[in-house]
Structure 1
Amino acid sequence: MKILFVCSEAYPLIKTGGLGDVGGALPRALLKRGAQVRLLLPAYGAVMSKAKDAGLKLLLEFECDGAPVKLWQTRLPGSRVVTWLVDIAEFSARDGGPYGDHTGADWHDNAWRFYLFSRVAELISTAQLSLDFTPEITHCHDWQTGLVPALLSRHTKRPATVFTIHNLAYGGIFNYETFASLRLPEDWWHHEKLEFWGNFSYLKAGLVYADKITTVSPSYAEEIQTPEFGQGLEGLLSHRKADLLGLINGIDTQTWNPGSDAFIPSKYTRRSLKRRMANKLALQQERKLPVNENIPLFGFVGRLVEQKGVSLILEAIKPLLAAGECQLVAVGTGQREYEQGLLALQEEFPDAVAVTIGYSEPLSHWVEAACDIFLMPSLFEPCGLNQMYSQRYGALPICHYVGGLRDTVVNFCQPQLDAYLNGSLSVSDIDETGFLFREPSAEALAQCIHRALACYQQPELWQALQLNAMHKDFSWQQCCEGYMELYRELLEE
């Protein structure tokens, strides 16, 4: 089975969020299952720098729609995944992020950059380049690759196409002038094709033209067919529900393994859980918080955007901090208002709050290994990875009952806590792994936090929940099998 995996991010070459984790992990899992995989990535400047260490080979130089293109070959670091890098000046000759500059503003020519990237994917998929690989499946991810299934739809001989939605909120939306400048077929400017409320959407192109659509959790697949979560595309997604499948992402269990994690001071497993406390004490000391093994330590790692429920955290946790009942370590970057909100909280409670603005892979691992409770009150969450990381590391997650969070966290509810406290429920009867709340409000989050803290005060119960969480299997094996089955169905059809 030959698969072209078309993605705009893949860890460790480039990552801004969960898409990068999937882009790096799923191709490796598919390769282990016997698939032949080629990973196609943009040759961002940062990617080219990292790829040089793994070795770079120039495969082709050609012209695409008047633009000079180089196609480089390397390997995804730490794997055997053959990786092809699409090198145009708009990718490789720039500093900054993959989608925007250092200020956070989108690159003005994102539509053109990812159009060219999609065109190269089209040429590879239809054997128009001198390569020894012609895919049977072209698997595309998020808006940056949404044009690929549309472009391939014009070919009688083409691979089957899969389009995966990682986050429907990012639609790749541009105006008609941009549409016209790309010289796309004029009949695509139609509400049943690419036109989207007076603009056009790269993501919608993938939803209309892909043979199959997947998203990253069963619950999110249901939610995006409703007005609340559908981002204006719920009608199209409902129309295509027979071709829509939700598959939970896995996590890289080698990179995220508390028993071998190089980023944490004290390694531990389920059998040596007592060693975990050393990470908490070391993090408190490193972040200049009072070193106290008994005070509950909350952790947050993520993008500081509205979706992640940061405003709920700021409101719900403040009374607890004022009462000296907890500590908070937060790591993230994003919207200025949320960065300032966390920094203001740190200034108000310097002995209880430590904030790092920016992303740090080592620190994100350390927080998971140190905190008692991981906060993830996302307003919506297609899949989420941190709630799986936290369970693997024995940090119990508090999450909003949406999307992949509800699919991966088993809720320990108030009636169970009451039953445990009155002696009618024993730890041997508990298989829960965290805490969920349904209403997206600070009040509901606060109630959930109080439930978690009440459990924290019961050491035997808390340890049982930790061990349950650490026992869960979030590896790519099950998810990978779901994709392999989908690929086989497509090839049979």
Structure 2
Amino acid sequence: MFDRALKILFVASEAVPFAKVGGLADVVGSLPKALAVGPDERHNDVRLLLPHYKNIDETEYLMDFPVPLDQRLETCVLRQGKLEAHWRGEHRSLPVYFVSNYHYFWRDGIYAFPDDAERFAFFCWAALELLPRLNWQPDIIHCHDWQTAPLPLLLRTHYRAHPFYRDIATVFTIHNLQYQGNFPWETISLFRLGDEYYHPEALEFYGQFSFMKAGLLYADMISTVSRTYAREIQTPAYGERLDGVLRRRARDLYGIVNGINYHEFNPKIDPRLHRNYGLDNLEDKRENKYALQREMGLPVKEVPLLGIVSRLVAQKGLDLVAEVAGELMHLEVQLVVLGTGDEYYHRLFQELQRRYPQKVGLYLGFNPVLAQRIYAGADIFLMPSRFEPCGLGQLIAMRYGAIPVVRATGGLADTVQEFDPATLSGNGFVFREYHAREFYRAIARALKLYRDHPDSWQRLVRNAMSCDFSWARSAAEYLQLYLEALSRRLAEVRIA
């Protein structure tokens, strides 16, 4: 039935290289490239739709049209750009459409405005209104995170009766369930729906209207960014009060681990490194450590170098780092930290650096070049997260031969396996209980192997660098998810 290329529209609030706040942008900027040259070599027609923020340029005008919102009409100016895709030796330019409205998007910043509900409601309406005007009918609309979650709701309530929209299937991806887009109940009027939806089995969510819940209830299929996280969010501990909804839709919920761009993250050719290296000249990785020590003002010497590249927030398990730091600093190690976030953690690491200036290097802020140098220079990479839907840091670290020490949660559990000195299998070190003592023991295992068994350590580094976490593998899984969504959508149409 689907022995043909698919037409796929990605709808998201951010994507590299146009706008980025977090990992969502990396996914939406990379996965379409892998799907455009399909895992089965079919060239899928993949396009992106984003808001037209103030900082985005190099677009051209396509058209403008009215968009319904509440009881009025707003104007959408549709602009177009392109996403350059270099994939498997091919070059393609993917169309990127931008929903432009001066009132909603011509601002400094992307999120955290008082009218975010209205801004992204407008974006969802515009996404559906523009399709027939483009004369392009996607098979799949792939929505990402709460900002686009009401789109499947609109499709099912206002558009299904129209033949143009009848066969379009939707996939909704949860990148982090903690961010839900919960607003006062009156927000539902933006979608021209009434109080008949005000009950727990529908859209009401603890007295509010939840964008996230709309996507969970009305999308044909739901995905999240790792298999373990898909299981975790169906429990009260990780479900953010939506675990009941997710259990109801368990049959439609899939976990697919994110990938990374193996062209961008490649220590053999990465121009940001002090010295390139790979499996055939692994000894050159050490030169990156020495250069990193100099850059961070640390003594240049052969000691285990631990790295952290992270948002400095509670989710990342930084309280565990604080609890073990004193004990670690009494060992022959160095620690390099890059990140920005909560002021509490800024002060914590500043104090640690003040007390141990010969052992702690710190950069508070966003610095992608330094991040790559930490991945390349670190021996051990720390990610003791409370929860981690997928995590990209451990994937990049392994690509560069920095061995991850992680808590077994979400995507960390799916991608990092404990190294077994007997069989020489595994790619990192893992602890399960969220406790400082367990975290310290995992670090101690890594340090012991590094110091006492250099041959085994080299095997571990090679194991990590040989793992395949490219987008090609993830794209194949997404393609199967799209086909399943289409099958269910067409079955529902036949029944109707």
TM norm. shorter chain > 0.5: yes
Counterpart pick for 2:393 among 364, 375, 386: 386
Superposed CA offset, 1:371-428 (max 9, x none): 011011110111111111111110000100111101101112xxx4xxx5xxxx3xxx
C-alpha contact (below 8 Å) 1:13/1:76 kept by paired residues? no
Task: Note if 1:312 corresponds to 2:320.
Answer: yes
Q: CA deviation at 1:189?
A: 2.5
2:378 aligns with 371
1:343 aligns with 350
Counterpart pick for 2:308 among 275, 300, 312: 300
Q: CA deviation at 1:327?
A: 1.2
The residue type paired with residue 64 of structure 1 is V
- Residues 70-149 of structure 1: pairs in structure 2 closer than 5 A: 70-77=77-84, 80-96=93-109, 98-99=110-111, 106-125=112-131, 127=132, 130-149=133-152
Superposed CA offset, 1:27-53 (max 9, x none): 11110112111100111112x13xx2x
SS at match of 1:473: coil
Distance in 2 between residues matched to 1:17 and 1:226, nearest whole Å: 25
Distance in 1 between residues matched to 2:202 and 2:342, nearest whole Å: 33
The residue type paired with residue 218 of structure 2 is Y
1:440 aligns with 434
The residue type paired with residue 114 of structure 2 is H
The residue type paired with residue 479 of structure 1 is S
C-alpha contact (below 8 Å) 1:140/1:164 kept by paired residues? yes
Q: Which runs of 5+ in 1 are unaligned?
A: 100-105
1:44 aligns with 53
The residue type paired with residue 433 of structure 2 is E
SS at match of 1:333: strand
Task: Note if 1:31 corresponds to 2:33.
Answer: no
Q: Which runs of 5+ in 2 are unaligned?
A: 1-5, 87-92, 489-496
Distance in 1 between residues matched to 2:359 and 2:99, nearest whole Å: 47
1:403 aligns with 410
Distance in 1 between residues matched to 2:33 and 2:215, nearest whole Å: 24
Q: CA deviation at 1:325?
A: 2.1
* RMSD of aligned alpha carbons: 1.5
1:463 aligns with 458
C-alpha contact (below 8 Å) 2:154/2:191 kept by paired residues? no
C-alpha contact (below 8 Å) 1:43/1:91 kept by paired residues? no
Task: Note if 1:223 corresponds to 2:232.
Answer: yes
1:430 aligns with 424
C-alpha contact (below 8 Å) 1:45/1:91 kept by paired residues? no
Task: Note if 1:153 corresponds to 2:133.
Answer: no
Distance in 2 between residues matched to 1:91 and 1:286, nearest whole Å: 42
Distance in 2 between residues matched to 1:39 and 1:122, nearest whole Å: 13
C-alpha contact (below 8 Å) 1:379/1:440 kept by paired residues? yes
Counterpart pick for 2:26 among 21, 24, 32: 21
Q: 1 or 2 for the larger relative contact order (CA 8 Å, sep ≥6)?
A: 2
Q: CA deviation at 1:436?
A: 0.5
SS at match of 1:153: helix
C-alpha contact (below 8 Å) 1:317/1:446 kept by paired residues? no
Q: CA deviation at 1:343?
A: 1.5
SS at match of 1:213: strand
Distance in 2 between residues matched to 1:352 and 1:220, nearest whole Å: 35
Superposed CA offset, 1:225-255 (max 9, x none): 1111111111111110111111111111111
Task: Note if 1:451 corresponds to 2:445.
Answer: yes
SS at match of 1:140: strand
Q: CA deviation at 1:182?
A: 5.5
Distance in 1 between residues matched to 2:113 and 2:316, nearest whole Å: 24
Distance in 1 between residues matched to 2:54 and 2:84, nearest whole Å: 16
The residue type paired with residue 319 of structure 1 is E
Q: CA deviation at 1:324?
A: 4.6
Q: Percent identity?
A: 44
Counterpart pick for 2:215 among 193, 202, 206: 206
SS at match of 2:312: coil
Q: CA deviation at 1:77?
A: 4.6
2:245 aligns with 236
SS at match of 2:311: coil
Superposed CA offset, 1:300-359 (max 9, x none): 1111111111111122122212x1521111111111111221122112212211221111
The residue type paired with residue 296 of structure 1 is P
1:282 aligns with 291
C-alpha contact (below 8 Å) 2:188/2:194 kept by paired residues? no
Superposed CA offset, 1:244-288 (max 9, x none): 111111111111111111111111111110011111111110111
2:480 aligns with 485
2:336 aligns with 329
Distance in 2 between residues matched to 1:194 and 1:70, nearest whole Å: 30
C-alpha contact (below 8 Å) 1:252/1:476 kept by paired residues? yes
1:103 aligns with none
In structure 2, the CA distance between the partners of 1:340 and 1:132, relative to structure 1 (3 Å rule), is same
The residue type paired with residue 116 of structure 2 is N
Distance in 1 between residues matched to 2:455 and 2:153, nearest whole Å: 56
1:3 aligns with 8
2:67 aligns with 64
Distance in 1 between residues matched to 2:337 and 2:31, nearest whole Å: 28
The residue type paired with residue 399 of structure 1 is V
C-alpha contact (below 8 Å) 1:256/1:389 kept by paired residues? yes
C-alpha contact (below 8 Å) 1:12/1:77 kept by paired residues? no
Distance in 2 between residues matched to 1:300 and 1:179, nearest whole Å: 42
Superposed CA offset, 1:94-130 (max 9, x none): 113x11xxxxxx21111111111111112135x2xx2
Distance in 1 between residues matched to 2:295 and 2:479, nearest whole Å: 44
Superposed CA offset, 1:444-474 (max 9, x none): 1111111111111121111110000000011
The residue type paired with residue 406 of structure 2 is C
Corresponding residue pairs, total: 462
Distance in 2 between residues matched to 1:324 and 1:486, nearest whole Å: 48
Q: TM-score, normalised by structure 2?
A: 0.90
Task: Note if 1:361 corresponds to 2:368.
Answer: yes
